[in-house]
Amino acid sequence: MEWRERDGVRWLEAELDGAGAAFSTRLGGVSEPPFDSLNLGLLTEDEEEAVKENRRRFAIALGLTPDQVVFARQVHGTDLVEHPLGKGVPEADGHVVRTPGTAPLIFVADCLPVALSGPRGVAMVHAGWRGLAGGILAGGAEAVGATSAAIGPGIGPCCYEVGEEVLGAFSGLEGVAKGRMLDLPEVARQLLARAGVEQVESACLCTSCEEELFFSHRRDRGRTGRQAGIAWVED
């Protein structure tokens, strides 16, 4: 993964098999605190016009037009939708595209954004513990025949203290928790390996620790913005 910057917008970019993915930071937008500054999430208390401008800036920085970017209402589920869709915003936590020209985006602020690519396209998924436990990575891998994946910034094992229910969901995995501290990126890596995806790169950045770079739902007690993961099929 490499750092990129354009017009003040800064992001991490990953090269996958036949596809690309980008993970935004909070830098380069117009929103005021506590949404400063590149908040991409409308379902916050931020100003709608500011969020729309931020979305426009992120798309342009990536060389996309805003209408190429598609998203859904995320519900911590495991459903994937395939684009192009008709009108409307679906409920889904994962997206699949098979051809260039459409770039699905998911919103995060501690959950992991994960891009998977293979011969049948690219998937972009929202992977919090519920989605991971429910099998969203296996679903994404299956949909595109994934051979490579990129795990974006999310909450790290340094900051993610969880309860019994969450620990229990991953009791079949080795070495993913120390006490109550869960290593969500490691959970994702192991679940990707189980799904046959061996070529995996990880941002290894904790959204809660890296306050200058990322929004964190847990650190900011819910009043914060959203960064994004976005993916596309290469021309």
List of residues contacting Zn ion (CB under 5 A): 156, 158-159, 206, 208-209
- Rounded to a whole number of angstroms, the minimum distance from the CB of residue 185 to Zn ion is 11
d(CA 32, CA 29): 9
CA atoms within 13 A of residue 18's CA, in its CB half-sphere: 17
Q: With contact defined as beta carbons under 8 Å apart, do 73 and 89 qualify?
A: yes
d(CA 90, CA 67): 16
- Rounded to a whole number of angstroms, the minimum distance from the CB of residue 159 to Zn ion is 3
Output 81 or 209, the one with its CB closest to Zn ion.
Answer: 209
Q: With contact defined as beta carbons under 8 Å apart, do 26 and 40 qualify?
A: no
Our CA angle for 115, 119, 122, nearest 5°, is 25
- Rounded to a whole number of angstroms, the minimum distance from the CB of residue 155 to Zn ion is 7
Output 87 or 221, the one with its CB closest to Zn ion.
Answer: 221
- Rounded to a whole number of angstroms, the minimum distance from the CB of residue 212 to Zn ion is 13
